[in-house]
Amino acid sequence: MTYRTISRRSILAGLTTAATAGALALAGCSRSDPLGTDAGNDAGTASSRTIVIGSQDYYSSEIIAEIYAQALEDADYTVDRQFRIGQREAYAPEIEAGAIDLFPEYTGPLLQYWKPDTESRLSEDVYAELLETTPDGLRLLDQSPATDQNGYTVTQEFADEWDLTTIGDLTKVTTPLTLGANSEGEHRPYGPEGLATTYGVEVAFTPIEDDGGPLTVKALKDGDIQLAIIYTADPSIAENGLVSLEDPKGLFIASHVVPLVSDNVDDAAAAIINKISAAMNPEDLIALNARSVKEELPAATIASDWLAQQNLG
């Protein structure tokens, strides 16, 4: 149903942007056609048009989108929440078509979506290249310090035992290392091969197909594996006494929260969103995620609490 709604919107938006001049004629000659009439109205009041906010089908993305929505509502904007749309393959065409005006994105994965062969890995490079790659009609706002990306994770005890801070420190470990991750990790550039060429770390590989979930954490704690790939903003890292190793050479592509917006988001709205991005640090994002996972609070509550706490609400 969501998809159908958006498809209809994309038609509206297409009409709006394509033919501002023609809109009058369209509205005039098609009064009996609800689609044509709507398009005419939209064109007439473009500056105060509803801002459509989308989010990925991922709880953390929904929380960020909800924060945007509430902050804009506080500033008297009308917003339309189209959350939990799906994966990038599903929603990106809708954004590109102008059906969604504001979407919390992640720099690295978004760049790789538009430019699969990109060589940028570090935060600033990725953001700079993403600014160039962003299609016409869309615009990137400031990237947030908050990140949510893949990271090599070890237990706190293991990190203490070998004095590990960065992935490169793993060369100090003299016992054999086994990496546990999803099957495809074995042949990805960041997998065992990337560890060896980028950091000189040799690891064996064992597949655990739960995306760094409870089975992976259990295997880490049991010592069946020493190294796992877990999202850096995953609350299970703090909860289970794990540590994400720093990745100064950019084995994983940097993935900062970044708002992707259409022309329908004016400068005042953009300023509000930029303020949110600047205020949100990586620890905040982990805390927000933890409230969702552990306290099972709805996104709306988590978002309004955070905005109040940051004095942004």
Partner 1 sequence: MNLIAEALAWLAEPANWSGPGGIPARTGQHLAITALTILLAGLIAWPAGVLIGHTRRGAGIVGALTGAARAIPTLGLLTLFGLGLGIGLTAPLLALIVLAIPSLLAGTYAGIQAIDPAIPAAARAIGMSPAQVILTVEVPLAMPVIIGGLRSATLQVVATATLAAYTADIGLGRYLFAGLKSRDYTEMLGGALVVVALTLVLEVALAICQSVARRIVDPASRTQRTPA
Binding footprint of partner 1, residue count (CB under 8 A): 20
Applying CB under 8 A, does 266 fall inside the site for partner 1? no
Residue 48 or 183: the one with the smaller Cβ distance to partner 1 is 183
Binding-site string for partner 1 from residue 195 to residue 234, where x marks contact by CB under 8 A and - marks none: ----------xxxxxx---xx--xx--x-xx---------
The 178-197 site mask, x for binding partner 1 (CB under 8 A), equals --x-xxx-xxx---------
Q: How far is the CB of 89 from partner 1 (least distance, A)?
A: 10
To the nearest whole angstrom, how small is the minimum distance from the Cβ of residue 78 to partner 1? 38
Nearer to partner 1, 8 or 187 (CB): 187
SS in 3 state form for the chain?
A: CHHHHHHHHHHHHHHHHHCHHHHHHHHHHCCCCHHHHHHHHHHHCHHHCCEEEECCCCHHHHHHHHHHHHHHHHCCCCEEEECCCCCHHHHHHHHHCCCCCEEEEEHHHHHHHHCCCCCCCCHHHHHHHHHHHCCCCEEECCCCCCECCEEEEEEHHHHHHHCCCEHHHHHHCCCCCEEEECHHHHHCCCCHHHHHHHHCCCCEEEECCCCCCHHHHHHHHHCCCCEEEEECCCCHHHHCCEEECECCCCCCCCCEEEEEEECCCCHHHHHHHHHHHHHCCHHHHHHHHHHHHCCCCCHHHHHHHHHHHCCCC
Closer residue to partner 1, CB minimum distance, 64 or 225: 225
Which residue, 116 or 135, is less far from partner 1 as judged by CB? 116
Q: How far apart are CB 87 and partner 1 at their closest, in Å? A: 11
Min dist CB 182 to partner 1, Å, is 5
- Fill in the per-residue mask, 154 to 183: x = in contact with partner 1 (CB under 8 A), - = not in contact: --------------------------x-xx
Question: In the complex, which residues of this chain contact partner 1 (CB under 8 A)?
Answer: 180, 182-184, 186-188, 205-210, 214-215, 218-219, 222, 224-225
